[in-house]
Amino acid sequence: MQYLTLGLGSIEQGLIYAILALGVFVSLRVLDIPDLTVDGSFVTGAAVSVMFTQLQEPLGGGILFPVLSLIMAFLAGAITGIITGLLHTRLKVPALLAGILTMTGLYSINLIIMGDKPTVSINGMNNIFTPFMDMVGSDAVSRKLAIIPVILVVLLITTLALVWFLRTQKGMALRATGDNEEMVKASSINADNMKVLGLAVANGIVALSGAVLAQDQNFADAKSGVGTVVVGIASIIIGETIFGKRSIINNIVSAILGAIVYRIFISIVLQLGLPASYFKLLSALIVVIAICVQVTGEKIARKKVRRANKKC
């Protein structure tokens, strides 16, 4: 029973971080920009979500505000991405630094959104899961079984919207910008605007995952953002290593599955007795190891090609 709860718990977390992975995928893989805004925009999403959810206290409205809060979080995240994008493209600040600047500024902004409190709780209020929780028993397993489908729906909508977007003319221009910027300019596309758009979409999705996590945990924590981007990158790289990266759809599915595998792995390691304080170190190490595996894999593949070429 305990293991079932734990297993369901890591799937629940994995699905939330799968949304994060989709956002990081857009900046890291589609645009080819390692965007550190994520550590801030993730919390922005959580902060906006809890503050908006709190509006039900004076106004009522059932789960209207919790659901709307997800959209608000997406929009707020998109704005943070636009700020990084403008710093990068208009002021020519290197992408890494632009992300760091926005992330640092967001630390204050997030506190301001949360009314200068380090944590804000929405315990006891309606959240996006409430109607489904009411349908099941109050034991841990039933609760998880009510929560997981809701997260799945958010993840599914995000995935479908992203796949659709990346196949539109705009989305195609976005992918090309990360692939060959010169070629994009030669096709009379403003590559700078594409970068801003891409960072907006990326951080919108990141903020959405922060919002879903806040709904799940019933609170937002201003300090919870540290290392979020590493979690996103870890999910993507693990996914690519295990599930491949042959096409855009394959890439997206890999990122989602990678996030879930990562969560399961983390919970196993913690279960084996590793103190929780090692958690961030572990995340960073996983990224390093996954990159090692990827690099070695590519080397072996290249050697194979070379050998095959020699035979011809």
Residue 56 to residue 45: CA distance in whole angstroms: 18
Minimum distance of another protein from residue 189's CB (angstroms): 6
Question: Which two structure tokens, joined as six digits, stand for 210?
Answer: 């922060």
Contacts of 219 (CB under 8 A, 6+ apart): 50, 119, 120, 121, 122, 123
Where residue 124 falls (left for φ over 0; alpha for ψ -120 to 50; beta otherwise) is left
The DSSP element (H or E) to which 108 belongs, if any, is helix 95-113
Is 185 a binder of another protein (CB under 8 A)? yes
The DSSP element (H or E) to which 119 belongs, if any, is strand 119-121
Minimum distance of another protein from residue 164's CB (angstroms): 9
Contact between residue 212 and residue 185 where contact means Cβ atoms under 8 Å apart: no
In this chain, which of 182, 272, 308, 309 binds another protein, going by CB under 8 A? 182
Is 190 a binder of another protein (CB under 8 A)? yes
Is 191 a binder of another protein (CB under 8 A)? yes
The DSSP element (H or E) to which 220 belongs, if any, is strand 219-221
Residue 208 to residue 219: CA distance in whole angstroms: 15
In this chain, which of 28, 101, 184, 199 binds another protein, going by CB under 8 A? 184
**Which region among 139-147, 179-187, 205-213, 299-307 touches another protein (by CB under 8 A)?**
179-187
CB closer to another protein out of 219 and 243: 243
In this chain, which of 43, 100, 155, 173 binds another protein, going by CB under 8 A? 173
**Which region among 74-82, 133-141, 172-180, 217-225 touches another protein (by CB under 8 A)?**
172-180
Is 188 a binder of another protein (CB under 8 A)? yes
Minimum distance of another protein from residue 197's CB (angstroms): 10
Q: Which residues bind another protein (CB under 8 A)?
A: 165, 167-173, 175-176, 179-180, 182-191
